Amino acid sequence: MPPLAAALASSLRPGERVVEVGVGRRPDVAAELAAAGYDVVATDVDDHETPPDVTFRRDDVTDPDGDVYASAALVYALRCPPELQRPLVDVARSVGAACAFTTLGGDPATVPVDRERVDSETLCWVSDRERPD
């Protein structure tokens, strides 16, 4: 499993539900998690194709459909802009899920995070939720 997908999976138990917010045209991490046996849902405000083992749901994290996130163990976003970080955290908290994101280039994290270096990326784990051992 590629390093970023493996880092995300480190907070999960086998088969748990994972939601990627803002998948866009890059479903590679979602696909890797699905291939590893996780129940993966990818969301975006626009329709996008995803691999067959990744469920796609059209959703806006700033006005979320709670059913999309129900039972999620992890809600994450890649290349998450500052204005979507708070809504991402709020939706993860609403279902009791862990929350992680990467930022766009030099954008800052606008919520409290613990940073994990993963290859050339910095994975930000929302720090007010402990990850399972």
pLDDT in tens, 73-94: 999 999 999 999 999 999 999 9
- The domains located in the chain, with CATH, are 3-126 (3.40.50.150)
Tokens of 87: 């809504």
Is the predicted pLDDT of residue 133 greater than 60, yes or no? no
Nearest to 109 by CA among 87, 130, 81: 81
Least confident range of 9-13, 104-108, 120-124: 104-108
d(CA 23, CA 26) in angstroms, rounded, equals: 6
- What does the pLDDT average to over 56-76? 96
| pLDDT digit string, tens, across residues 86-115 | 999 999 999 999 999 999 888 999 999 999
Write the CB contacts of 123 (distance below 8 Å, at least 6 apart in sequence).
Answer: 4, 7, 8, 100, 101, 102, 115, 116, 117
